[in-house]
Structure 1
Amino acid sequence: MLKSRLITAFILIPLVIAALFWLPPVGFAITTIIICMLAAWEWGQLAGMASRQQRIWLAVLCGLLLSLMLFTLPPYQHDVHLPQVEISLWASLVWWVVALLLVLCYPASAALWRHSRPLRLLFGILTIIPFFWGMLALRQYHYDSDHFAGAWWLLFVMFLVWGADSGAFMFGKLFGKHKLAPKVSPGKTWEGFIGGLISSAIIALLFASLAPLSVPVGTLVICAVIATLASALGDLTESMFKREAGIKDSGNLIPGHGGILDRIDSLTAAVPVFACLLLLVFRTL
């Protein structure tokens, strides 16, 4: 299991980095739409859709919705304050605050949505659509003056998430004794959580000193810390929905890693939250 995870990671990480820096905006948008469609396919199972056909339609509708929203943007317009982008990013902040309450109150909170497929589908929409716009908003950051500025920001967020995940895994294995959220994800510990924060902080400091991020240090630290906390929440939230659905993995598309949602669950929270803080709260435009 560990061997297949490592092999898959060594293959996927260079591909992800190459896509960030080499794909043009249209190609990057199309790639992100495909990822979101696969995530929607898997979310159908979390929403209680046992039928394969229903899940296919959900993925198709997700792709059509994102494509229509994308086509409504003015040509060559990268303004984060366009309604499609700004509303989605603010909605992500609201949703992840709600998700935090659902996780903290689980399993009692599940009584509110356990038997409601529309509500669970709404949770999926609030997870996937802001993730899409967060990815595009960061990738297009200062694109007119520097085609790679946004790619560095996205890589920074991904390094934060990867660092937090890896640190949590290692510290949890070595020192984990106190359960973080036993009713949601019994394998996660406070020691792993703290280790993940420490790991992501070290990576953030190293990355910020080497990469051309060019924002005030205070702003960078606040955005990085909150995004890292959001990434842990994204992981716990998906674990909560999987537990209710009675499944271990969201899918089996990635050998050794489960499904697409299993790999991007942390990013679905970290990316839009980070984009909202950086571009809308602190307005580093």
Structure 2
Amino acid sequence: MIGAIYFLSTQTLALVFAIITIMGAWEWGGLIKIYTAKNRYLYIALILLSLLISWIIPLQWVLIISIIWWNFCLLLLIKPFQKKSISHPISKMEGSVIGFLILVPAWRAIIYLHSLPTIGSNIVLFLFALIWLADSGAYMAGRKFGHTKLAPMLSPGKTWEGVYGALIICSLYLVVSTQFFEFSGKKWWLFIALGLATVLFSIVGDLLESLFKRVAAVKDSSSLLPGHGGILDRIDSLTAAVPIFTFGFLLLERLDDWS
């Protein structure tokens, strides 16, 4: 993946990530109970068409829709955190629309970041590393200190202590990264805040997929990656993190005290 980020052109990388997105769409079809191959292929075709449309419409529109969606998810998932059961049925139509909101903006956002002159490859690798560190920090802190469940009915293994561990290790990483990207002044603080917000929303992305897996009564999104689940299990955090970070980064670029 690192080699692809650094050595492939943005257009080629867009194709690579489009293939990953299509594979994720196939798995998502299974989670929302689109079982027939004909309907699953139709859903994939619609996702692919949406990728093409997102390429030609203003990025800001795509990101604003995504920001609204993920903030809605944050509010939606807060309540079930405290519930003992999940009772709301999710229709195929609802699930299909949610699939678009999850997959399409993430693809468009990561391609935009990679296309940035000079820093594109670096910022994409930085973002991937941030989410990988968040996952690792949450796992290690949760394993060592975890006892307060974050969302027991969605993902019993996640704890608040894991969240704190992710935020701590990512804070250190963000401080170091500000030096690499030469942020200063307001941008230094805003970049740290953006990074931590990105980490928090990555957890929302993870929990949303957990919700759909729980409703579908499956452990993994598929068995495509033996021992690691499916594509969605690998990118669920990124689907929320990438649009959130990209939107914030666009705002950062508009500040005039970059040094």
TM-score, normalised with respect to structure 2: 0.90
Matched, 1:55 2:40: yes
1:97 aligns with 2:77: no
Residue in 1 that maps onto 2:141: 171
1:259 deviates by 0.7
1:188 matched to 2:158: yes
- Cα distance in 2, alignment partners of residues 52 and 175 from structure 1: 45
Show the counterpart of 1:218.
Answer: 189
SS in 1 for 2:228: coil
Local SS of the residue matching 2:113: helix
Return the match for 1:28 from 13, 37, 45.
13
- Structure 1 66/213 Cα, relative in aligned 2: closer, same or farther at 3 Å? farther
State the 1:279 CA deviation: 0.4
Percent identity over the alignment is 38
CA RMSD, Structure 1 to Structure 2 (Å): 2.1
Q: Which residue identity does 1:122 align to in structure 2? A: V
Give deviations 1:192-243, integer Å, cap 9, x for gaps.
111111111122223333x335462112111101101111111111101110
**Matching residue of 2:107:** 132
Structure 1 segments (4+ residues) deviating >4 Å? 107-112
- Contact 1:42 1:55 survives alignment (8 Å): no
Alignment TM-score, normalising by the size of structure 1: 0.82
After superposition, what is the alpha-carbon deviation per residue over 1:253-285, rounded to whole angstroms, capped at 9, x for unaligned? 223221111011000001000001110476359
Which structure 2 residue ranges, 5 or more long, are not aligned? Answer: none
Structure 2 residue 247 is matched with structure 1 residue 276: yes
Q: Distance in 1 between matches of 2:182 and 2:209?
A: 31
Aligned length: 252
> 2:31 maps to which residue?
46
Against the structure 1 CA distance between its residues 280 and 87, is the aligned structure 2 distance closer, same or farther, given a 3 Å change threshold?
farther
Give 3-state SS (helix, strand or coil) of 1:105's partner. Answer: helix
Give the Cα–Cα distance (whole angstroms) in 2 for the partners of residues 84 and 110 of structure 1: 37
Whether the aligned pair in 1 keeps the contact of 2:70 and 2:201 (CA below 8 Å) is yes
The alpha-carbon deviation at position 30 of structure 1 amounts to 0.8
Check if 1:155 corresponds to 2:125.
Answer: yes
- 5+ residue gaps, structure 1, are 1-15, 74-82
Aligned equivalents of 2:68, 2:254: Cα separation in 1: 19
